[in-house]
């Protein structure tokens, strides 16, 4: 018969197992903290493995996961091929990645589902209820090669995977126009904020050395701004997106729920996330360069929506909202309704007469409703149905 004490011990033991296998990190030899694997908390006084979530931490504790004194070996870079996907491994267990050889437990691949981010665990171990609960994650870059010079405000999210963390092997599309890195390479970081529906709200960061290969453009990445909440947010009873409220162009990662140096202040039940809710489109962030926009008005609910410059559109239509020739067709492309019956009525809009302003006046709501849904560009029919049902 179980006493409450033995039951408690049993539950604690289970929790202990979860803390070994749960959460998630970007694993690659180019990362700071690659070999931090101690679960006894001897060195830091708390669990500071790369997979450990971060919350209420001082700046030193969360910045680069407090691994700045554990740099990668010289010459180890994570390559970012311009215009192609960078293939990352995200896992809650280094033993389940290609780098298992330096994991204390050795190879722990899941034989049944080798691409799971958490061998032998349920999805709650990587903080998601199911596929529909995914919030996305992002990779950020700074064009500095000395990590001691890097500040939080230097990082720009250049690629997002809105269906992250779901598979261990996760693709991140690298914008075609990424300029080359300085002589010592660039410094990058992985960022993730889960939904908070499976596990408590928290924040993830792993820093690593990276390098852009195959660059064809020299236009620098613009100075990043803090991303604003502007997409449809049914949970908050905001059924329509507010495109004027979005931050366009280069955006910083979220620094959230820490004791110091936060840049977003949403409550713990409305996590800031890497998807359309904050205008982080799925895939390459193609509008992050200094010449991406002629002008960027200050975002506000009633502000005009800036239009990407024609010059830097990719010929293959790398992202929606680009690759067409006139503002009219561009707008209708990025805002094309998928399932709305009264699409024509909703598509009314007007434009600035003076096109030199390059601003698309936001005098219609149809596009807002359709263009801004979460993961709008990768919806599968079931997901699309689900979003539709929410309205």
Query: In this complex, which beta carbon is closest to ligand NAG, that of residue 18 or of residue 377?
Result: 377
What is the C-alpha separation between 207 and 191, in angstroms, rounded? 9
CB of 14 to ligand NAG, least distance (A): 29
Query: Residue 387, interface with ligand NAG (CB under 6 A)?
Result: no
Q: Which stretch binds ligand NAG (CB under 6 A): 40-48, 148-156, 177-185, 339-347?
A: 177-185
In the bound state with ligand NAG, the residue whose beta carbon lies nearer, of 11 and 300, is: 300
DSSP string, 45-111: SS--STT--B-S--HHHHGGGG-TTSPPPTT--EEEETTSEEEEEEES-GGGSTTGGGSTT-----S
Count of positions on this chain that bind ligand NAG (CB under 6 A):
37
Largest Cα span, the chain: 80
Options 10-18, 180-188, 198-206, 310-318: segment touching ligand NAG (CB under 6 A):
180-188
3-state helix, strand, coil in the chain (%, to 5): 25, 15, 60
Closer CB to ligand NAG, 206 or 211, in the complex:
211
Smallest gap, in angstroms, from Cβ of residue 77 to ligand NAG? 6
- In angstroms, what is the minimal distance from the CB of 4 to ligand NAG? 43
Query: What's the CA gap between 293 and 288, in Å, rounded?
Result: 9
- CA torsion angle 283 239 364 360 (round to 10): -30
Q: What is the rounded CA–CA span in Å between residue 34 and residue 238? A: 41
Of residues 82, 178, 232, 372, which one binds ligand NAG by CB under 6 A? 372
Site string for ligand NAG, 144-173 (x = CB under 6 A): -----------------x-x---x-xxx-x
> From residue 70 to residue 109, what is the string marking binding to ligand NAG with x (rule CB under 6 A)?
--xx---x------------------------x-------
Contact 53, 204 (CB under 8 A): yes
Q: Which stretch binds ligand NAG (CB under 6 A): 47-55, 60-68, 90-98, 279-287?
A: 279-287
Restricting to residues 352-371, name those near ligand NAG by CB under 6 A.
371
| Among 91, 116, 135, 334, contact with ligand NAG (rule: CB under 6 A) | 334
Place of tokens 């589902």: 113
All residues at 6 or more sequence positions from 24 whose CB lies less than 8 Å from its CB, including other chains: 51, 90, 91, 92, 117, 118, 126, 127, 165, 192, 204
* 168: DSSP letter: S
Nearer to ligand NAG, 1 or 218 (CB): 218
Site string for ligand NAG, 209-228 (x = CB under 6 A): --x-x--------------x
Write down the least CB distance from residue 301 to ligand NAG, Å: 4
Q: Please, what sign has the CA dihedral across residues 52, 57, 62, 68?
A: negative
Cβ proximity to ligand NAG, 77 vs 158, nearer residue: 77
**CB-based burial of residue 300 (10 Å sphere; 0-12 exposed, 13-18 middle, 19+ buried)?**
exposed
- Contact call for residues 281 and 251 (beta carbons, < 8 A): no
**Which of residues 123, 135, 156, 279 is near ligand NAG by CB under 6 A?**
279
Shortest spacing between CB 13 and ligand NAG, in angstroms: 29
In the complex, the smallest distance separating the C-beta of residue 124 from ligand NAG, rounded to whole angstroms, is 20
Residue with smaller CB distance to ligand NAG, 5 or 267: 267
Strand boundaries in the chain, DSSP class E: 25-26, 78-81, 85-91, 137-142, 156-161, 169-173, 186-192, 204-213, 283-284, 305-306, 359-360
Residues forming contacts to ligand NAG in the complex (CB under 6 A) are 34-35, 72-73, 77, 102, 161, 163, 167, 169-171, 173, 181, 184-185, 211, 213, 228-231, 242, 245-246, 248, 276, 279, 281-283, 287, 301, 321, 334, 371-372
């Amino acid at each position: 018969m179980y006493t409450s004490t033995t039951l408690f011990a049993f539950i604690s033991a289970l929790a202990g197992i979860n803390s070994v296998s749960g959460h998630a990190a970007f694993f690659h030899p180019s990362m700071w903290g690659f070999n931090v694997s101690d679960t006894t908390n001897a060195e830091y006084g708390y669990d500071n493995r790369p997979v450990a979530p971060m919350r209420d931490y001082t700046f030193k504790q969360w910045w680069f996961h407090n691994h700045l004194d554990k740099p990668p070996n010289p010459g180890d870079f994570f390559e970012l091929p311009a215009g192609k996907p960078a293939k990352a491994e995200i896992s809650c267990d280094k033993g389940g990645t290609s780098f298992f050889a330096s994991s204390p437990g050795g190879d722990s691949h899941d034989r049944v589902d080798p691409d799971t981010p958490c061998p032998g665990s349920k999805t709650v171990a990587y903080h998601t209820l199911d596929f529909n609960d995914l919030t996305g994650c992002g990779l950020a870059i700074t064009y500095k090669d000395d990590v001691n010079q890097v500040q939080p405000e230097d990082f720009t999210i250049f690629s997002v995977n809105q269906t992250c963390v779901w598979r261990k092997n996760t693709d991140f599309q690298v914008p075609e126009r990424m300029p080359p890195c300085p002589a010592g390479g660039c410094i990058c970081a992985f960022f993730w904020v889960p939904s908070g529906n499976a596990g408590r709200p928290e924040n993830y960061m792993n820093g690593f050395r990276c390098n852009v290969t195959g660059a064809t453009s020299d236009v620098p990445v613009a100075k990043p701004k803090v991303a604003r909440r502007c997409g449809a947010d049914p949970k908050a009873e905001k059924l329509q997106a507010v495109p004027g409220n979005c931050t366009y162009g280069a955006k910083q990662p979220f620094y959230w729920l820490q004791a110091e140096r936060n840049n977003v202040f949403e409550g713990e039940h409305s996590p800031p996330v890497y998807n359309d809710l904050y205008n982080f489109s799925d895939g390459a962030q193609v509008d992050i360069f200094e010449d991406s926009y002629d002008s960027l008005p200050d975002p506000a609910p009633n502000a005009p929506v800036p239009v990407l410059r024609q010059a830097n559109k990719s010929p293959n239509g790398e992202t929606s909202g680009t690759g067409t020739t006139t503002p009219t067709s561009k707008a209708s492309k990025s805002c094309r309704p998928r399932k709305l019956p009264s699409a024509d009525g909703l598509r009314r809009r007007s434009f600035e007469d003076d096109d030199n302003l390059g601003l698309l006046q936001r005098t219609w709501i149809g596009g807002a409703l359709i263009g801004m849904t979460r993961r709008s560009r990768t919806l599968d029919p079931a997901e699309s149905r689900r979003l539709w049902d929410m309205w």
